[in-house]
Amino acid sequence: MNKREFLKILGAGAVGLAANSLIFKSCFLIRKDGQEKHKNWAWITTDLKTPVDEWKRKFAGMHEAGIHAILPEIYGSRRAHYASKHLPVDENWLEMILPAAKAEGLEIHAWMWCMPCNIEDIQKKHPEWFSVNGKGESSLDKPAYVDYCKFLCPSRPEVHEFIQMTAAELAQYETLDGIHLDYIRYPDVILAEALQPKYGIVQDREYPEYDYCYCEVCRNKFKEKTGIDPLKLQEPSENKEWRQFRYDSITNIVNDKLIPIAHKYNKVISAAVFPNWEFVRQEWYRWNLDAVMPMLYHSFYNEDMEWIKKQTEKGVMSLPKNIPLYSGLYVPQLRPDELTEAVEASFDGGAKGIVLFSANAMTDAHWKYFSKAVKS
């Protein structure tokens, strides 16, 4: 897709949204008696080795177990797994699994990473696109925590366009049901408690090496708005305006840049989000999505099943009633019987369904317990 084609899509989308009252696919499932029923999803990490016949078998098994929609990882910050014209392409995995999933009665929503960019050509041509921490270090040169955390700056129009182009390409797949946003955030300024020892760090407050973004664009935009250079703040974490500026930077991408593209093509748009949203500057309860999927990975926070229920309740209460919440559960840290407990905790908290991370981690025993839990 060249820039002219992309701008044509955006222009047509703006006109269409202004002129028409579009009816979008619902993220709710309705029973024959008119009552809502739970809708269950599964993230599927990229798998280019499994042949199509095996995918058909897997999809049939998922549907039988109570899964209604899948979220395959189609773009993970390095290469596209679909026929992209603007990203480097590995294999056209989406084109292979899309008809197979639809044939088994599953919805398919393309899972795309947003802010991290590990494409060498982009890194070489546009190093200025990358976020800068409070010490003046670019995430390109010194990423936080792990090498792939090379996050783009959410204030730059060029970055908006880059992300929009991926969404626009995916939205034009006629039989695709939706687009699923991941990493639509800043790097964690404070990691979940149980993850900190893994990196040999203690984060008892916000430290500048993990605090983004202080690039010239962000600093100038904030200074124009408030008269303050955030880099000169003695305690940036205590400045409410600076925090809100960054929340708004991500919200702008979601509400103003990505949702219109998805809805122009009548696609559902959802996102994987954090329960501790402040630490990734992700004010997701203000996003006009069709569904939200908080990653309630209780073991990351040294918490129990009751925490899943409470976080689900908190999320449901924060959202408009027309936006369903689906509880994301981390299968690698759940025994099959514990998966049942986590499902029940989610439903008790008001979740409209479950999202499994991931289908790849599910054993036969997990599927057995999951199926019984969601169908009871």
Give the tens place of pLDDT for each residue, 234-267. 999 999 999 999 999 999 999 999 999 999 999 9
In degrees, to the nearest 5, what angle opens at C-alpha 225 toward C-alphas 221 and 231? 60
Any idea what DSSP says for residue 253?
A: I
Single pTM value for the model: 0.94
Tell me how far apart the alpha carbons of residues 269 and 271 are, in angstroms, rounded to a whole number. Answer: 7
Domains of the chain: 35-375 (3.20.20.80)
d(CA 234, CA 231): 8
Q: What are the phi and psi torsion angles at 341 (to 5°)? A: -60, -40
Tell me, what's the pLDDT at 27? 77
Tokens of 329: 């559960």
Model pLDDT, residue 229: 98
Tell me the C-alpha to C-alpha distance, in Å, between residue 39 and each of 182, 204, 372. Answer: 20, 38, 14
**Inter-axis angle of helices 93-103 and 52-65, to 10 degrees?**
40
Give the pair of three-digit tokens for residue 94.
Answer: 């989406």
State how beta strands 29-30 and 36-37 pair.
antiparallel
Nearest-CA neighbor of 68 among 34, 95, 31? 31
Cα distances (angstroms) measured from residue 244 to each of 166, 190, 218, 220:
27, 17, 13, 15
Distance, C-alpha 29 to centroid of its chain: 22
35 phi/psi in degrees, rounded to 5: -85, 150
CA distance 149 to 202: 19
353: alpha, beta or left, given left = phi > 0 and alpha = psi -120 to 50? Answer: left
What count of residues does the chain have?
376
Gyration radius of the chain over CA positions: 20
For tokens 């955006």, the residue is: 10
Separation between Cα atoms, residue 176 and residue 69, nearest integer Å: 11
Q: Report whether 215 contacts 159 (CB < 8 A).
A: no
Confidence (pLDDT) at 37: 86
**Distance, CA of 351 to CA of 343 (rounded, Å):** 9
- DSSP H helices, 74-185, are 93-103, 120-125, 157-171
Give residue 220's Cα distance to chain centre. Answer: 28
Kindly list the averaged pLDDT for each block of 10 residues, start to end, along the chain of length 376. Answer: 64 44 53 72 98 99 99 99 99 98 99 99 99 99 98 99 99 99 99 97 98 99 98 96 99 99 99 99 99 99 99 99 98 99 99 99 99 96
**Predicted pLDDT at 7:** 65
Which H or E run contains 366? Answer: helix 364-375
| Integer Cα distance of 160 and 157 in angstroms | 5
Among the listed residues 137, 147, 131, the one whose alpha carbon sits nearest the alpha carbon of residue 218: 131
